[in-house]
Structure 1
Amino acid sequence: MSTSVAPTLKKTALNATHRALKAKMVDFGGWDMPVEYPGNGGGLIAEHMAVRTGVGLFDVSHMGEIQFRGPNAMDTVQYLTMNDVTKLKDGQAHYSALLTPQGTFVDDILVHRLGQNDWLLVVNAGTKDKDYAWIRQQVGSRPGAHVSDYSPHYSQIAVQGPRAVETLQKLTKVDLAAIKNYWFTWGTVAGIPNVLIARTGYSGEDGFEVYTPSDEATTVKMWDALMDAGSEFAIRPCGLGARNTLRLEAGMSLYGHEIGEEINALEPGLDRFLKIDKGDFIGRDALLAVRDSGGPKRKVIGLEMVDRGIGRDGYPVLDLEGKEIGVVTSGSPAPFLKTNIAMALVPAEVAASGSDVLVQVRANQVRAKQVPIPFYKRAKK
């Protein structure tokens, strides 16, 4: 009789820190990660509200980092991704995606230009190995670009919220106010040299993602210094639960939900990141065919529940006659907005009509109205 052995979960350098904080841990894409910190009056809602009104701290060290170097690095990244990297300057980043030849998603990514011959792509944790294999497969026929998986060498901590600048500024002489959104620099933080400081995040708030060497001592030193620096702003450690509700309020797509290998790049409403006329890239021909044949057949829409009920991921979406027409891709209560929201993939004509729909919530058909995405936008300073 054979017995199956559960696979060993990967751990970030902060795993012991999360456990000491009595975090609720879950298997997330093969990683042992905190979903929330219930102690000290905490939990998902308190964490979400801390990021919206003060500052929160996330361990995102499970994310993947893939580096491109060499004289053909820029052209290779341009060919592999849907945004236009020729518009980036040294020290600038943008949101993009790796696409299949069918124009669907391998993964969504952040692209950082370290230099013309030096690029860093940040990819999702659960898809990192697949992404790296895909990239290696494509790059094999393109000399002059050397690709390396640097994921094991980086820890990544996200400081997010309106008090993020004040929190991080205590720990560095780098002028953080001078770093524009989606730009980055290098500096000493909390006495740790050569830290990459990027004004990016996945919460809909201002904030930074800091990249340090991945050894436990350095990573814990950074985490503890940030927690201490943010204590006057009631900083909270935040788990994957709040990360998800924050990104949903901000209308940000999630791999396996709004984007995936069955969804083409014209469907999720990411048009501002898709530079279809930039020249040749993987997936372009398929997307041109879709565009030239009248556009995508489906679109991602925003929903706010009118009746009582929560439209969860995977719930069917119906028209007002009760016919199934689509599916909820992401849905949950919105703690800051104090309503129930969802994103759903529906026929393009339904999206264009703006009409109400029904969501099948267990035995009940719950009415929802279409609303613009993002649901939440932080106020401009």
Structure 2
Amino acid sequence: MDLPEARLPEGRELVRSLDFKRLPKVLLHEHLDGGLRPSTVIELSRELGYEGLPTEDAGELASWFHRGAQRGNLGEYLEGFAHTIAVMQTKDGLERVAYEYMEDMFRDGVVHSEVRFAPVFHDRAGLTQDEVVEAVIAGLERGQKEFGVSWGLIICAMRDRRDSLEAAELAIRWRDRGVVGFDLAGEESGHPPKRHLEAFQAISRANFKITIHAGEAFGPESIWQALQYCGAHRLGHGTRLLEDIAFLEDGSMVLGRLAQFILDRRIPLEMCLSSNVHTGACASVAEHPFPKFFRAGFRVFLNTDDRLMSDTEMSKELEIATQVFDLSLGDLQKITVNAAKSSFAHYAERLDLIHRRILPSYAVLFAEQGLKLLSEQGPG
């Protein structure tokens, strides 16, 4: 499934003139409670009698979330979630948020998405965690029927809690209804993934899928634990893997053993440009390691992380990457196929996604811009 490169006969300005909404997209790293519509937050807060919002004006609330997320560290970035979680406490509210998520994906040109959340935060009004998952799945299913976007749900355990095994067992119970994997999220520093071995062992024994937030707020040690102790199949963020790579004067790279292992094993890196700047994982988009990893052949792709907090969407992330890193249309196609290959969907579903939804759409875009594909194969 490796793809050829593209040549732009008249320069990359053609790509920059694209309507990025038209690009077929795959989004694998987005938190359900980080992407609510501000108007929905306000309406649900009124229904629940929640009085903690800083404002009930949708525009002002959006700005408040954006400002709060841009303070340069992960701990403060996460503070805004107190409000979104507070209003996601009823079956109707959870289903609505999940349904609107699917509508937002459709409007942004996303053809497949895997969204994650921690059910343990949504039982304050008396719901069981199974009822929480059921409500979210109902919204995702309704959204798929209406908008045609395929989806998977990832259950998150939290690094600072001791109930990760219960979260893993919850994920396994719902694997035949749309849950496709298990994640460990939350403040990374001081909470190593190996403290949750029992949960990851349960997932592995069930032949299930694992993605772990690692290498965002802590160094390569966190990534190594996620892989070698916990068996991660994908890595959330992974920006600090750069610390295991040396750059020589001639521009060449010397990979450390961890980086080489990740490259050789084709372990996917779920990279999030805007979010990584907002949390302080990267000083700026221009300094993000994504282009270095991409050019070196790592299986990387772009994601939004938290659309509300970071004021973003997939179209915006791809446009930023194109402008800052001088990407071609072939690069954008490669990034999207990387994501599709890395999905936790079944193999036949991944093939269908690539060959029936992504490549035909890109073929139209290539034709419109007068581009020709070369026959050389790139890295997988």
Q: Give the structure-1-normalised TM-score.
A: 0.27
Q: Which has the higher strand share?
A: 1
Q: Which structure has the highest helix share of the two? A: 2
TM score, norm. by length of structure 2: 0.27
Q: Which has the larger radius of gyration?
A: 1
RCO higher in 1 or 2 (8 Å CA, sep ≥ 6)? Answer: 2
